[in-house]
A and B are shown apart, each in its own frame.
Chain A
Amino acid sequence: MSKEDKRPPRGLRSYVSFLFEYMKANLAMQMEYRVTFIGRIIGMMVNDAMWLSFWLIYFTRFPVVQGWERADVVTLWAVCAFGFGICFSVFGNINRIASIVVRGDLDFYLVYPRHVLLHLAASRMDATAVGDVAFGLGVFFALVRPTPLQAILFVLSGILVACLFFGFTVITHSLAFVLGNAEMLSDQASATLIHFATYPSGIFDGPTRAILFTLIPAGFINSIPVSVVRDFDPLFFAGLAAASVFLIVASDRIFKAGLRKYESGNLMQVRM
């Protein structure tokens, strides 16, 4: 191997390999407690299945509501679980940012030579999120039986949904830099996004709809089954992609701005 080959890779490729290594380490850590890990995955799949069962019962009683049918709600839960699962199985630490900032635990990540947010986000895997990925893919392919085009659109939408969850979670947790103890607020904001995202877009109108396409970007998620997978609307899809990119960029900027306000707690601790 030449000297040049030993230099660390640069750019996007370097970050991809960086994330890949983190994922391998996180997975190896989870596999140390194999039974618990598998139990959590199955537990989350059961949890998602129970929610989906509610909708299946609902659509058995009311076959069409506001243009939504059973297949649409299955797609909604599948894409939501798939996107959420991708986000939190790779970046499982983002829903702990607020508590890390408040406790002064961020110091640990500041000494690393890479992007701080990426390091912080990828340093933990949410085991249950793997169950969400499995549930999303399984349910979509088993119950919706998509065409190849629908399958591609589903996977692309799932990745964009993951970006939305990442951006929104990082932004709400970054409030801790300004407000201090913002753990409850950020948790409730994340729960609000998930809650709105898992109900059919057709039931919301007027000002609520406006909020769901701005302040709480759940409208981009809960419109996917009808506006992307069932009847592809290129304009909506472009809007979904733009919103995802915007939230990723905004979350990075907001986190960096917050970081400038961060005060070290000079916390001494042992990490094992």
Chain B
Amino acid sequence: MIEVGRGGQGRLRALRHLGKYLEMLRITVLTALTYAYDMLSRQLFVVIVMFVFVQLWKTTYRWEGAASIGGYTMRQMLWYLALGESMAMSMPRAAAEIDDDVRSGALAYALTKPYKYPWFLYAKYMGNALTGFFGNLAIAGTVIWIAVGPPPVTALSFTLGFLSALLAYALDFWAQAAIGLSAFWIEDASPYRLLYSRVKMLLGGMLLPLELFPEGLRRIAAFLPTGQIFHGPVKTFVSLSLPEFGGTVAKQSVWILVFVALASMVYRAGVRRVNVQGG
């Protein structure tokens, strides 16, 4: 009886903790929605990006004289790019925020609060990422819809694609957290942040589906964590294959665990170096 009671209390405590972070996520979403027009006007550049993609791929398909390239029709290709771009442009720069907090000392304030700093940031990240994703998709999707018609998605591919996108955001956050927390030791982490974002952009399949990569590079990109951030979820959206989806989710889960463990280790070691002075 006592053991059951303890288990129940533990579950209650875990739920209370989860509730705290869900509340943070909700507040972030509401804040972002309050400034929805401001957010959308900042994202108008997506129109230019999508317009240029349309010109590039229309020319490529016409020049190749092919109905399908790398297994993608032109409609699938452009929606792939629209979804990839929407995800990429909605990913908050968590590493830069953590870096600032560590350098400015704002992290010391967070340590006194009744939450775990990395999980607090994760909730905030997800709130901003989700609102950004749908905002970007509304703009990018409009351009692509006008150019090539409606998205090649079904209810199932959208649901599974969205699930995989949530895991991709989680993976991106924890990878960024590990880089950002390195500010405890490194003088300037901005070159590493830039390197990560560019590797993610190129080897993640944001600009080009991995199927169009040379075979050797494709294998490497498909294995790396960055390869699970765009290509996996976006391909699920536009061209669902259940075995591939299973593989993507499995790889995403493994890499998330690796980066959560790494970020937690770096955080614990870093916090021990924090020197709080009154004043």
B188 at the interface (CB under 8 A from A): yes
Interface residue ranges of B180-207 to A (CB < 8 Å): 187-188, 190-191, 194-195, 198-199, 201-202, 207
- Which of B44-52, B112-120, B130-138 lies at the interface? B44-52
A221 to B191 alpha-carbon distance, docked (Å): 28
Is B63 a contact of A42 with CB atoms below 8 Å?
Answer: no
Name B198's closest neighbour in chain A (CB-CB).
A50
Contacting residue for B208 out of A35, A46, A58, A192, CB 8 A: A58
Is A50 a contact of B201 with CB atoms below 8 Å?
Answer: yes
Count of chain B residues with Cβ under 8 Å from any Cβ of A? Answer: 31
Interface centre among B44, B45, B70 (most CB of A within 10 A): B45
A208 to B147 alpha-carbon distance, docked (Å): 15
Is B42 a contact of A195 with CB atoms below 8 Å?
Answer: no
Interface residue ranges of A77-94 to B (CB < 8 Å): none
Is A54 a contact of B187 with CB atoms below 8 Å?
Answer: no
Count of chain A residues with Cβ under 8 Å from any Cβ of B? Answer: 31
- Which of A60-68, A97-105, A251-259 lies at the interface? A60-68
* CB neighbours of A39 from chain B (8 A): 188, 190-191
Is A199 a contact of B187 with CB atoms below 8 Å?
Answer: no
B223 at the interface (CB under 8 A from A): no
Contacting residue for A184 out of B41, B52, B56, B213, CB 8 A: B41
On whether A36 and B56 interact (CB within 8 A), knowing A65-B63, A188-B44, the answer reads no
* CB neighbours of B45 from chain A (8 A): 188, 191-192, 195
Name A53's closest neighbour in chain B (CB-CB).
B202
Is B59 a contact of A202 with CB atoms below 8 Å?
Answer: yes
Contacting residue for B212 out of A53, A61, A184, A192, CB 8 A: A61
B214 at the interface (CB under 8 A from A): yes
Q: How far is the CB of B186 from chain A (nearest CB, A)?
A: 10
Is B60 a contact of A62 with CB atoms below 8 Å?
Answer: yes
B254 at the interface (CB under 8 A from A): no
A50 to B206 alpha-carbon distance, docked (Å): 12
* CB neighbours of A57 from chain B (8 A): 208, 212-214, 217
On whether A36 and B187 interact (CB within 8 A), knowing A66-B63, A196-B52, the answer reads yes
Is A195 a contact of B49 with CB atoms below 8 Å?
Answer: yes
Name A67's closest neighbour in chain B (CB-CB).
B63
Interface residue ranges of B29-61 to A (CB < 8 Å): 41-42, 44-45, 48-49, 52, 55-56, 58-60
23 contacts between A and B (CB under 8 A): A35-B187, A35-B188, A36-B188, A39-B188, A39-B190, A43-B194, A43-B195, A46-B191, A46-B198, A47-B194, A53-B202, A54-B207, A60-B214, A61-B70, A65-B59, A66-B63, A184-B42, A188-B45, A195-B45, A195-B48, A202-B59, A203-B56, A203-B58
Given A50-B199, A192-B45, A202-B59, 8 more A-B residue pairs with CB atoms under 8 Å apart are A46-B194, A50-B201, A57-B213, A62-B63, A65-B63, A188-B45, A204-B55, A208-B55
